[in-house]
Amino acid sequence: MSWFNGVRGYRSHQTLPELVNSYLKSSDTYIAVTETFYLAHVLILSNYIGKAHELIMALYCRPLNEEQYEPLLKEGVSTPEECLAKEQWGQYRESCRTGWMVEHLSVAKPKDPHIWRETDDPVMLAMCSRLLAKEDNQGEYPSWERMREALAAAMKLYAQPQAPVEEGVDYSSTQVWKSRHSFLLYRRLAIELAIRVGELKVASEILSMALRLDGFGRSSGASLQDFLFVPGIYNVLPLLAEGGKDNNPFFIEEEDANTLVWAIIGAVNWRARRGRQWSLPPREAGWKELLERLADGAWRVNSWEYKRLGFDRAADILFPPATEAEIEAVEKDIGELPADFKKMIRVSNGFRGGWQFLDGGMTGIQSITAKHMTAENCAWSQLQIWNSVRDLIVDHVEYIEGIIKADGREDGDD
């Protein structure tokens, strides 16, 4: 089960097992809490307001790692309503700017913004809509008539064909952005105009268009938070939800939403009551988890030596996995390798230790040159005292996690 996580690209997703594990196993739950707030936003977009509230309240009722959440009110603002209105007007005002269009698109401001009716030029349509919607007086909005005309100009622009964004393309770093409707005229502005003139269905259609064609992007004023910040958007979300994934590609089905909220709140409560947990005893863990725990733990208790050797993070401790072709080539040369040794190198082709840490580490098949060696000198001969390579790795993990549980440092570490 996965959902859009809001932080690493248009198609970036988080999964339920990954988030739950972040709460249970991570030393710092900051990332897990951040990911949970993003999920709450996705739930709101799917019109599960109550479920999002339940999820957020679980975090506030059980703060982890003594985390303090920022208060809503800022200095000089007396009420939440005043703060919200001020911030929303600032967003609206920012959406109406046109100076950047003159500078970057080589277009002059029209003397009469009503000329939008006489042109099909996307840039001019966008500029006219912005000018019609603009209001200079702090906290005030244009007349109903001007907002309706600004919306009409926007809809004329959006009626022109536009292909969906391509995954992996950074439109803000190329000239392509100049042709994207969402850059020329923030869709959140058109959504707000539609809401203010009472066209909730139109607002829903524009929001759906934004999600289907553009996804989310802060450079085009279209982050998930930007959309949810629009005044009156909660009246639009039920209409958007009626179409499910056809209207909103990030939509979460109700059964999945219930499962997500239940599982994450359970993980939050577990972490708050019992602290950090290892998911399984080392002897019961799979190879991938076992080696990741080896690397994470080794870095925690011996990072000073790894850094001295030129490594920057726990992942550097593990070698890349061996390919099947490499395994076949070695076995052709020296005979069949131990079965669990092969299981390990398919995940990680060995690991790095220290001068007197983890027996100096273990290299995989990259160091096997046993064509003319005696059996006792083969690269894996030391493993026989542990019965298997897995026994050796388990012993290392148990040793490291014992240190972490005791004081987090390797013996002799100063």
pLDDT tens column, 55-67: 999 888 876 554 4
First to last CA, the chain: 44
Answer yes or no: is 367 within a domain.
yes
Among 21-35, 105-119, 165-179, the minimum mean pLDDT is found in: 165-179
Last residue of a domain, one of 250, 274, 298: 274
Most confident among 34-48, 71-85, 216-230 (mean pLDDT): 34-48
Measured between alpha carbons, how far is residue 360 from residues 289, 291, 295, 356 in Å? 21, 16, 14, 6
- Indicate if the pLDDT at residue 384 is higher than 80: no
- Please tell me whether residues 124 and 171 are part of one structural domain: yes
Average pLDDT of the residues in 343-359: 86
The pLDDT score that the predictor gives to residue 414 is: 40
Model confidence pLDDT, tens digit, residues 280-304: 667 777 888 888 888 988 888 888 8
Model confidence pLDDT, tens digit, residues 234-269: 999 999 999 999 999 999 999 999 999 998 998 888
Answer yes or no: is 414 within a domain.
no
Provide the residue range defining the domain that includes 353.
282-406
Answer yes or no: is 412 within a domain.
no
Question: What is the number of alpha carbons within 13 Å of residue 229 lying toward its C-beta?
Answer: 20
The pLDDT score that the predictor gives to residue 383 is: 42
- Please tell me whether residues 236 and 344 are part of one structural domain: no
If pLDDT is split at 50, 70 and 90, which confidence band does 166 have?
Answer: confident
The pLDDT score that the predictor gives to residue 390 is: 86
- Please tell me whether residues 80 and 220 are part of one structural domain: yes
103 or 377, higher pLDDT: 103
The pLDDT score that the predictor gives to residue 244 is: 94
Q: Which of 12, 48, 22 is nearest to 261 (CA)?
A: 48
- Please tell me whether residues 44 and 161 are part of one structural domain: yes
Answer yes or no: is 198 within a domain.
yes
168 or 158, higher pLDDT: 158
What whole-number distance in Å separates Cα of residue 405 and Cα of residue 103?
Answer: 59
Last residue of a domain, one of 274, 305, 327: 274
Model confidence pLDDT, tens digit, residues 389-411: 888 888 888 888 888 776 544 44
26 or 89, higher pLDDT: 89
- Indicate if the pLDDT at residue 97 is higher than 90: yes
Stated length of the chain: 414
What whole-number distance in Å separates Cα of residue 148 and Cα of residue 157?
Answer: 14
The pLDDT score that the predictor gives to residue 28 is: 74
Token pair 């909660």: residue: 234
Average pLDDT of the residues in 70-77: 52
Q: Which of 19, 23, 39 is nearest to 270 (CA)?
A: 23
Q: What percent of the chain has pLDDT over 90?
A: 36
Measured between alpha carbons, how far is residue 348 from residues 231, 321, 352, 383, 412 in Å? 52, 4, 11, 17, 28
- Please tell me whether residues 215 and 336 are part of one structural domain: no
- Please tell me whether residues 97 and 216 are part of one structural domain: yes
Q: Provide the number of structural domains found in the chain.
A: 2
- Please tell me whether residues 256 and 320 are part of one structural domain: no
The pLDDT score that the predictor gives to residue 96 is: 94
- Indicate if the pLDDT at residue 386 is higher than 50: no
Last residue of a domain, one of 274, 301, 323: 274
Model confidence pLDDT, tens digit, residues 33-42: 888 898 999 9
- Please tell me whether residues 338 and 316 are part of one structural domain: yes
**Cβ-Cβ contacts under 8 Å for 408 (sequence gap 6 or more):** 300, 301
- Please tell me whether residues 258 and 350 are part of one structural domain: no
